[in-house]
Amino acid sequence: KNEVEQSPQNLTAQEGEFITINCSYSVGISALHWLQQHPGGGIVSLFMLSSGKKKHGRLIATINIQEKHSSLHITASHPRDSAVYICAVRRGSNYKLTFGKGTLLTVNP
């Protein structure tokens, strides 16, 4: 079993829909990252969480440490949100990240 599991693997939505991507992990962590990867490579860091909730524009990330679960929400989705969303965890003071396989989001106009 991978240390970091994401669901769903693929998600197709219509423009304007509310999107939820889930991440579960099986180890103790010091931080969880959500990243966005567009076709062609480029990975951008969206959030880093160690507790609670963070919001940036239409993106919201939450984490429940006790349940070892995090969610990434996108409100009022737009075709430009189409990308792979990756969850990654950091254990302890080590900077090494362990990544999930990613969720491919396609938002249709």
Partner 1 sequence: GAGVSQSPRYKVAKRGQDVALRCDPISGHVSLFWYQQALGQGPEFLTYFQNEAQLDKSGLPSDRFFAERPEGSVSTLKIQRTQQEDSAVYLCASTAANTDTQYFGPGTRLTVL
CA distance 107 to 14: 5
Q: The dihedral of CA 47, 16, 107, 23: what is its sign?
A: positive
Instruction: Report the C-alpha dihedral over residues 7, 10, 17, 81, rounded to 10 degrees.
Output: 110
Q: Looking at residues 51 to 70 of the shown chain, list those that interact with partner 1 (rule: CB under 8 A).
A: none
Structure tokens at 9: 């693997």
Binding letters toward partner 1, positions 20-49, x by CB under 8 A: -----------x-x-x----xxxxxx--x-
Nearer to partner 1, 69 or 99 (CB): 99
- Residue with Cβ nearer partner 1 (74 or 100): 100
How many residues touch partner 1 (CB under 8 A)?
A: 23
Q: Which of 55, 101, 106, 108 binds partner 1 (CB under 8 A)?
A: 101
Dist. CA 81–CA 12, nearest whole Å: 11
33 and 47 Cβ atoms separated by less than 8 Å:
yes
Of the residues 39, 66, 94, 109, which one makes contact with partner 1 according to CB under 8 A: 94
Q: Point out which residues bind partner 1 (CB under 8 A).
A: 4, 31, 33, 35, 40-45, 48, 86, 88, 90, 94-102
